[in-house]
Structure 1
C-alpha cells in the first residue's frame, strides 16, 4: 500500500520549484549603496527595480543568476511610483511571466523572490490587504493597494512578488513604517512604457510653492469658501503656469475645479500625468476677498 502524500512536503516542494523558476529571471542590482537589491527581467533587455534603492544614475551594474556581472544603463526613474528601469543585453536571460494583481485576495499565499550573491532568496507570506487605487506620498498613482504580511530580505527589495502559480503579480517594496507593499504589474507596465519612451513620467506642473493653512472664522467682510481650510501660495515660478495666469504670493487656494483643497498633498494628487495641458478653475481668497482664476497646467520640469 502506497504511503499517503504529505501535503506539507508537496507544498514545500512546489514553493521551491516556483522560486527556482522565477529566480532565473531575477537579478541583483548594484545601485551605489552598501548592499545590493533585486530587479526583475520584465521583458527582453529591460530590468525593473525599486527606484528608492538606486543611489546613483550611472555605473549601475547587475549580477545575473549564476554570478556574471553586467553593466546597465538607466532608462528612467519615477520616484512617485518607486519604479526604475534599466537596460542591458539579456543574452538569453528569460523574462518573467506576469499576471494581473487585481486577482489577489486577502489570504492568498505569495512569495517574494530576490537575488542575493547570484542565487535566489525567498520569503513566504500572505496577502494582508487589497484595495483600490491610491496615491503615494510623492503623488504617484498606484493601481491597487496591496499590503503583504511577510519579512522582506533587504536583498529582495525591488524583486518579484509571485502568486501560487508562480506568476509575478508585482514588485516587492518597503512602504511607510517598513511594511511590505507590492507595486502591481499594471502600474509597472504603464510606468515602464513612459520611462522607455521619454525617460521620465509626465506630471502636471502648477509652478507655485504651497503650504497648508487653516483659516479662522469669516469676518463680516469676507464670505466662507470651501470648508474653511486651504493652501497658501508662498512662492511663484516666474516662468511657470501660475505666474502666467496671475496667481500671487499670499493667495489662498480653496478649491480646485470646485473640489475643496485641504492639504498640499491634495494638489500633488491632482497633478498627475493626465493633468498636463488641462485648464483648472481655482477659487481663491485674495486680500480677504474671494476671487477665481483659470490656470492651464504645464509639464513638470525635470530639474
Structure 2
C-alpha cells in the first residue's frame, strides 16, 4: 500500500469514527415514542422534561409511552400539538436524560454533511447520512398546509425516523425531521420548533384561521378575466361549504370562485392557507368572488380551525 493510500485510509477512518461519536452522543437525548398502535416514532428531549416529536404519529392524547435510551419506558402527557406543522410537545417526569445540544440552523449551507438519527424498534439507534440539498424552500405538510421555511436534506428517513433530529457535523441538533408525501425528507428548523414549543407550552394549542370551504384551483377564461379587470386568471372554485362555518354565514356558495382575499390574489389553495394565520382568527377578511360571471365582495369573519379531523379550510 502506498503512503498516499495509507494516508487516505487514515483520513476516512478518522472521519468514520467522528461520525460514530456524533451519533452516540446525540442519541443520548433521543427517545422512542409509542403514541400509535403498531408503529413508533422518535422524539427529542428538547428541554428538561419536554419532548418534541411529529404530530401525526400521536393518535391519542393519553397513554403515550416514551422509551428512554437506557430502556426504561415511562408515561408522557401531551402538552399540545400543531397539526399544520406536524409537531407535538410531550411532557415527561424529571429524569437524568440528556437534553439536546441545539445548534444554529441558519449556519447551514447547501452541501453541508448532516445526519438523521432515530431510536427505532427494540430501542435501537439508527442513522442516515446525507447532505443539505436546499434551504428555505416552502413545502407542504401531510395536512396540506404550506410552511414557509425548511431544510431539505438529501438522505433517507426510514420507518421510525420521523420526529428525530437532524444533526450537523458539530453534533448539534438543527431541526426535527419529518416527511411529506412520497416520503421526502424535510426538516423543521430550530427557530420554528422553538417558537412552536413556546406557544404550545403556554396555551396548549395554536389557533389557525378557518373558513369552512372545500376548494380546487381553476383558471378563468381570458375573456372573463378581462371583463372583470382581474390581475390574474387563477382562482379556487368552492366545491363544498361546511354548514354554519364562517364562509357559510358570510354567504359563500358552492360554485363561487375565490380570486382575492384581503387584497391578495388567490391562484391556488396554498394562497388561501397563507392568509389564515393565527393573527387572522376572529377578524374580518374581504373576499372577492366571481359568481355567475360577475364580481362580488363578501366579508368573512375568520373562525378557528378545528384541532382534529378537519377536512376543509
Indicate if the aligned counterparts of 2:207 and 2:281 stay in contact, CA closer than 8 A: yes
Gaps of 5+ in 2: 1-5, 309-313
Instruction: After TM superposition, give the deviation of residue 101 of structure 1 in Å.
Output: 1.4
Instruction: After TM superposition, give the deviation of residue 141 of structure 1 in Å.
Output: 5.2
In structure 2, the CA distance between the partners of 1:36 and 1:242, relative to structure 1 (3 Å rule), is: closer
Query: Aligned to 1:154, what secondary structure does the other structure show?
Result: coil
Measured in 2, the distance between the counterparts of 1:264 and 1:144 equals: 18
> Could you say which residue in structure 1 is the equivalent of 2:264?
259
> Could you say which residue in structure 1 is the equivalent of 2:164?
159
Instruction: After TM superposition, give the deviation of residue 83 of structure 1 in Å.
Output: 0.8
Instruction: After TM superposition, give the deviation of residue 161 of structure 1 in Å.
Output: 0.8
In structure 2, the CA distance between the partners of 1:102 and 1:135, relative to structure 1 (3 Å rule), is: farther
Measured in 2, the distance between the counterparts of 1:10 and 1:56 equals: 44
Indicate if the aligned counterparts of 2:84 and 2:145 stay in contact, CA closer than 8 A: yes
Gaps of 5+ in 1: none
Q: TM-score, normalised by structure 1?
A: 0.88
> Could you say which residue in structure 2 is the equivalent of 1:114?
118
Which structure has greater helix proportion? 2
Deviates more, 1:54-63 or 1:64-73: 54-63
> Could you say which residue in structure 2 is the equivalent of 1:75?
79
Asked if residue 284 in structure 1 is aligned to residue 280 in structure 2, the reply is: no
Instruction: After TM superposition, give the deviation of residue 66 of structure 1 in Å.
Output: 0.9
Q: What are the residue-to-residue correspondences of 1:179-190 with 2, within 5 Å?
A: 179-190=184-195
Instruction: After TM superposition, give the deviation of residue 49 of structure 1 in Å.
Output: 0.9
In structure 2, the CA distance between the partners of 1:115 and 1:136, relative to structure 1 (3 Å rule), is: closer
> Could you say which residue in structure 2 is the equivalent of 1:103?
107
> Could you say which residue in structure 2 is the equivalent of 1:248?
253
> Could you say which residue in structure 1 is the equivalent of 2:175?
170
Q: TM-score, normalised by structure 2?
A: 0.85
> Could you say which residue in structure 2 is the equivalent of 1:25?
29
Deviation track 1:82-124 (CA, whole Å, cap 9, x = no partner) reads 1111111131212101122121111111111111333422222
> Could you say which residue in structure 1 is the equivalent of 2:56?
52
Measured in 2, the distance between the counterparts of 1:252 and 1:157 equals: 37
Measured in 1, the distance between the counterparts of 2:105 and 2:17 equals: 24
Indicate if the aligned counterparts of 1:226 and 1:255 stay in contact, CA closer than 8 A: no
Deviation track 1:4-30 (CA, whole Å, cap 9, x = no partner) reads 792222222222221111111100111
> Could you say which residue in structure 1 is the equivalent of 2:311?
none
**RMSD of the alignment, in Å?**
2.6
> Could you say which residue in structure 2 is the equivalent of 1:269?
274
Asked if residue 233 in structure 1 is aligned to residue 217 in structure 2, the reply is: no
Deviation track 1:130-159 (CA, whole Å, cap 9, x = no partner) reads 124545363545353321122333232211
